[in-house]
Amino acid sequence: MSTQIKITFKPEGFAECLQGLSGEVESVANAIASRAESYLEGPGGFTVEMTQAPRYQDSAYGVTRPVAFVYADEEASKEEAEDKILSKAVSG
């Protein structure tokens, strides 16, 4: 015998769950930045910036989720362009 369950999607609740992962998102971004820095042969570095942004269909529901960006400074950008060190760090 099968049972049917009706699930109602609550975007606000989903967004709240995602907000709880903010620390994990930042932690992973910092780990990626550290791995990328380990590939650097010269000076330079990477920084992590956290923000809240709508992704996928979030804007349709008026919610956002935590997003991390890893930025390279000018020196690290040169090595990233030549050796793709940030890409290596992501696939890690």
Average pLDDT of every residue of the chain: 91
Sign of CA dihedral 62, 57, 54, 34: positive
Domain-wise residue ranges, the chain: 11-91
Question: Would you place residue 58 in the very low, low, confident or very high pLDDT band (cuts 50, 70, 90)?
Answer: confident
Position 71 scores a pLDDT of: 95
24 membership: H or E segment, kind and range = helix 22-39
Position 43 scores a pLDDT of: 85
> What pTM value is reported for the model?
0.81
Q: How far apart (Å, rounded) are the C-alpha atoms in residues 60 and 48?
A: 28
Task: Give the tokens for residue 6.
Answer: 């009706």
Question: Would you place residue 39 in the very low, low, confident or very high pLDDT band (cuts 50, 70, 90)?
Answer: very high
